[in-house]
Amino acid sequence: MHDDRGAAGSERLLTALLGAYRLKDEPRAGWVLRGVDRPESVAAHSWGTSLLCLAFAEQAGVDRGRALAIATAHDVAEAEIGDIPSRAHPDDRTVDAAEKARREGAGLERLLGGELGELHELWREYEQDASPEARFVRDMNLLDMALQALAYEEQGRYDPARPLPSQGDHRHLDEFFVSAEARMRGALARELLDRVAARYRRARAGHG
Name the residue among 135, 77, 86 with its Cα closest to residue 108.
77
Reduced to 3 states, what is the DSSP secondary structure of residue 35? coil
Beta carbons of 180 and 145 less than 8 angstroms apart: yes
Q: CA torsion 122→127→132→138, rounded to 10°?
A: 100
CA distances from 109 to 19, 103, 126, 155 (A): 12, 10, 16, 39
In the chain, where the domains are located: 4-207
Amino acid at 70: I
Secondary structure element (H or E) that encloses residue 200, with its range: helix 187-207
pLDDT given for residue 2 in this prediction: 42
pLDDT given for residue 199 in this prediction: 97
Residue 97: pLDDT over 50:
yes
Name the residue among 73, 69, 66 with its Cα closest to residue 20.
73
CATH for 4-207 is 1.10.3210.10
The most confident of the ranges 5-9, 43-47, 104-108 is: 43-47
Higher pLDDT, 171 or 150: 150
pLDDT given for residue 40 in this prediction: 98
Averaged pLDDT, 169-174: 89
pLDDT given for residue 93 in this prediction: 81
Question: Among 101-105, 146-150, 203-207, which stretch is predicted with the lowest mean pLDDT?
Answer: 203-207
* pTM (2 d.p.): 0.91
Report the length, in residues, of the chain: 208
- Kindly provide the b/e burial profile for residues 22-50, where b requires at least 16 CB atoms within 10 angstroms of the residue's own CB: bbeebbbbbbebbebeebbbbbbbbbbbb
- How much is the mean pLDDT over the chain? 92
